[in-house]
């Protein structure tokens, strides 16, 4: 492991301070949106120091960690600079500069060729001898042809080199440190060592998973990778701590104030126009409707609404994250390039029950879904590549287990299908009512070489008007479950290569002259 030290050469590129001190990163804490760096400045006994940090760090987050070793407080100033290229971008910056020089040379050559063509156009022979005139014309034509050919080829090359320079500059700009035109100066006097921390918003991390479901056992082998990046301009190689929750920047002491109620003063009419009247109460003009809404809302208002601190920043907290800590180790550059760290590889197994599910109204082939066990290790939210029996099936975003992620869809099984076929659909109208007679058959086919237990879900209409009556005539076989919204669930054991049927027959009765409208809302 190599420890990062900001060398005097780099510090000199920030500013011309002759007393700049060596600054060493000793710890790095990542949060969902930002990172905290911890720094050390080693000093001789009772000496002054001046530490330099890039402008990506927030001046108001610099905090002294060993005040007992520092004389008084430290001073933090924000200053401007012209240009700073961190070590990790030095090679890319050299390529940009070299490409820029190449483009300048090509433009100079293009200007020379264009000047040559202009001279050829305006030139004329000084001799009147015919043989010399003919020779001059031939030489001029040959030179002009060569010049135009070279200029045409040069223009193509020039466009290509321009595109290359644009791409290099865009890459350099995207990877350049945030707020690179500023830098921080932290100064003071201390006994031996100065320890301080600073926060930057130019950092982030996220988990990625590979989840491999064993369809026979339900075990899910988990591989977890961490992707992290930061754009401070400072490289770091060492231990890093990843937090799944960002500390609140400001916490307010909760207070429950008494809820008071009084007799509302009678309002005094002071005039109006037409049917609109204006009222006055306690020297304030309010509409009657607004006053009623405020009165009704008063008992429901949160007590914290009475506390009105100024300029409270919105907390950078992602509430879907669990409050967990992950430790990783390695190199992360300060140019925004994403580094990947292998955290868990075949060391975590989640327990689940594989379920084969068919929903005819959504698709004709089956889902394979892992119903998760309650005692599983919780997963931090992140993107996951899904595999079934080592075969990639798709991608998904994993919600936090325990906050709604009770099942994970792992893909589709093309060999298990369902076909929905109408048995009878007839609408009739009498003097008093209309009748819609409906029926359908589900054909479930197991095209695999093994017997499979299949879960089928379907639904019947839910009358939202008491004038509509649903009459279920026949369901074969009987469903395993039925909820209050007429959603049915069957569980069938289907032998390999065979087909099972489900028959549903029902009618809807409604007033004559009306029409039925279907929807999910």
pLDDT digits (tens, 9 = 90+) for 334-364: 998 899 998 877 678 889 999 999 999 889 9
- Number of CB atoms found within 10 A of residue 408's CB: 22
Cα separations in angstroms, 296 against 134, 151, 261, 289, 291: 104, 80, 12, 11, 9
In this predicted structure, the answer to whether residue 305 has a pLDDT above a threshold of 60 is no
- Number of CB atoms found within 10 A of residue 6's CB: 24
Q: Residue 311 has what pLDDT?
A: 40
If DSSP codes are grouped into helix, strand and coil, which group holds residue 502? strand
Q: Select from 424, 226, 242 the least CA-distant residue to 338.
A: 226
If DSSP codes are grouped into helix, strand and coil, which group holds residue 520? coil
| Band of pLDDT at residue 259, cut at 50, 70 and 90 | low
In this predicted structure, the answer to whether residue 262 has a pLDDT above a threshold of 80 is no
If DSSP codes are grouped into helix, strand and coil, which group holds residue 300? helix
Of 18-22, 108-112, 224-228, 463-467, the range with the lowest mean pLDDT is 18-22
| Band of pLDDT at residue 86, cut at 50, 70 and 90 | confident
Q: 22 with 257: CB under 8 angstroms? A: no
Measure the CA–CA gap between 60 and 262, rounded to whole angstroms: 46
Q: Residue 100 has what pLDDT?
A: 92
Q: Residue 127 has what pLDDT?
A: 56
Average pLDDT over residues 201-228: 92
Q: 266 with 291: CB under 8 angstroms? A: no
According to DSSP, residue 335 is labeled S
Tokens 């868990």 label which residue? 344
Measure the CA–CA gap between 494 and 442, rounded to whole angstroms: 13
Residues whose CB falls within 8 Å of the CB of residue 167, separated by 6 or more in sequence, listed in order: none
Measure the CA–CA gap between 68 and 327, rounded to whole angstroms: 30
In this predicted structure, the answer to whether residue 244 has a pLDDT above a threshold of 90 is no
Helix (H) or strand (E) holding 171: helix 130-175
In this predicted structure, the answer to whether residue 185 has a pLDDT above a threshold of 90 is yes
Q: Residue 150 has what pLDDT?
A: 87
Q: Residue 20 has what pLDDT?
A: 61
Token digits of residue 340: 């990947």
Residues whose CB falls within 8 Å of the CB of residue 350, separated by 6 or more in sequence, listed in order: 211, 219, 220, 222, 370, 372, 373, 376, 377
Q: 39 with 61: CB under 8 angstroms? A: no
Measure the CA–CA gap between 251 and 267, rounded to whole angstroms: 41
Q: Residue 369 has what pLDDT?
A: 92
Q: 380 with 400: CB under 8 angstroms? A: yes
Q: Residue 356 has what pLDDT?
A: 94
Handedness of CA 17, 21, 22, 23 (dihedral sign): negative
Q: Which strands form 70-80's sheet, in the order they lie side by side?
A: 47-54, 182-190, 70-80
DSSP assignments along 395-424, one per residue: EEEEPPTTTT--EEEEEEEEEEEEEEEEEE
- SS3 for 342-364 is EEEEEEEEECEEEEEEECCCCCC
| Band of pLDDT at residue 168, cut at 50, 70 and 90 | very high
In this predicted structure, the answer to whether residue 198 has a pLDDT above a threshold of 50 is yes
Q: Select from 354, 349, 348 the least CA-distant residue to 217.
A: 354
Q: Residue 510 has what pLDDT?
A: 81
- SS3 for 82-150 is CCCCCHHHHHHHHHHHHHHHHHHHHHHHHHHHHHHHHHHHHCCCCCCCHHHHHHHHHHHHHHHHHHHHH
Name the more confident of 322 and 158: 158
Helix (H) or strand (E) holding 493: strand 487-494
If DSSP codes are grouped into helix, strand and coil, which group holds residue 289? helix
pLDDT digits (tens, 9 = 90+) for 439-465: 889 999 999 999 999 999 998 888 888
φ, ψ for residue 144 (rounded to 5)?
-65, -40
According to DSSP, residue 294 is labeled H
Q: Residue 258 has what pLDDT?
A: 65
Handedness of CA 225, 230, 233, 237 (dihedral sign): negative
DSSP assignments along 248-279, one per residue: PS--PPP--PPPP--PPPPPEEEEEETTEEEE
Residues whose CB falls within 8 Å of the CB of residue 1, separated by 6 or more in sequence, listed in order: 237, 238, 329
pLDDT digits (tens, 9 = 90+) for 370-394: 998 877 777 888 899 999 999 999 9
Q: Omega before 115 cis (within 30°)?
A: no
Strand partners, 411: 368
Q: Select from 4, 70, 77, 78 the least CA-distant residue to 37.
A: 4
If DSSP codes are grouped into helix, strand and coil, which group holds residue 168? helix
């Amino acid at each position: 492991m190599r420890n990062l030290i900001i060398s005097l050469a780099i510090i000199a590129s920030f500013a011309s301070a002759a007393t700049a001190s060596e600054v060493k990163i000793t710890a790095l804490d990542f949060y969902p949106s930002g990172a905290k760096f911890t720094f050390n400045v080693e000093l001789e006994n009772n000496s002054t120091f001046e530490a330099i940090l890039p402008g990506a760090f927030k001046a108001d987050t610099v905090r002294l960690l060993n005040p007992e070793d520092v004389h008084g407080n430290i001073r933090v100033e924000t200053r401007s600079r012209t240009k700073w290229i961190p070590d990790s971008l030095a090679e890319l910056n050299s390529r940009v500069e070299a490409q820029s020089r190449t483009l300048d040379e090509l433009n100079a050559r293009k200007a020379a060729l264009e000047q040559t063509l202009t001279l050829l156009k305006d030139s004329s022979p000084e001799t009147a001898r015919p043989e010399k005139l003919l020779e001059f014309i031939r030489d001029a034509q040959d030179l002009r042809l060569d010049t135009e050919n070279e200029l045409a080829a040069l223009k193509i090359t020039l466009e290509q080199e321009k595109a290359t320079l644009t791409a290099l500059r865009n890459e350099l700009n995207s990877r350049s440190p945030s707020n690179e035109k500023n830098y921080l100066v932290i100064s003071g006097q201390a006994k031996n060592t100065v320890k301080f921390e600073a926060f930057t918003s130019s950092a982030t991390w996220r988990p990625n998973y590979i989840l491999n479901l064993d369809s026979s056992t339900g075990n899910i082998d988990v591989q977890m990778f961490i992707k992290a990046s930061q754009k401070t301009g400072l490289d770091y190689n060492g231990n890093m701590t990843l937090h799944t929750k960002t500390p609140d920047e400001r916490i307010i002491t909760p207070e429950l104030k008494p809820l008071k109620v009084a007799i509302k003063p009678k309002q005094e009419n002071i005039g109006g126009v037409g049917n609109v009247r204006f009222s006055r109460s306690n020297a304030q003009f309010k509409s009657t409707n607004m006053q009623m809404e405020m009165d009704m809302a008063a008992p429901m208002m949160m007590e914290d609404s009475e506390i009105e601190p100024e300029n409270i920043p919105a907390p950078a907290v992602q509430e879907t994250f669990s409050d967990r800590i992950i430790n990783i180790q390695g190199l992360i550059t300060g140019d925004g390039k994403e580094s990947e760290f292998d955290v868990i590889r075949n060391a975590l197994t989640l327990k689940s029950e594989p379920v084969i599910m068919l929903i005819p109204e959504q698709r004709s082939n089956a889902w394979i879904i892992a119903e998760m066990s309650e005692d599983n290790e919780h997963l931090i939210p992140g993107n996951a590549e899904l595999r079934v029996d080592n075969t990639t099936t798709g991608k998904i975003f994993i919600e936090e287990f325990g906050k709604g992620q009770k099942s994970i869809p792992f893909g589709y099984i093309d060999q298990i299908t369902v076909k929905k076929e109408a048995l009878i659909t007839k609408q009739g109208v009498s003097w008093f009512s209309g009748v819609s007679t409906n029926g359908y058959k589900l054909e479930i086919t197991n095209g695999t070489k093994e017997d499979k237990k299949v879960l089928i879900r379907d639904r019947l209409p839910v009358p939202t008007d008491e004038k509509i009556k649903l009459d279920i005539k026949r369901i074969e076989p009987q469903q395993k479950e039925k909820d209050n919204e007429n959603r049915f669930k069957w569980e069938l054991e289907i032998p390999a290569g065979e087909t099972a049927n489900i028959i549903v027959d029902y009618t809807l009765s409604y007033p004559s002259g009306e029409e039925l409208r279907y929807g999910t809302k």
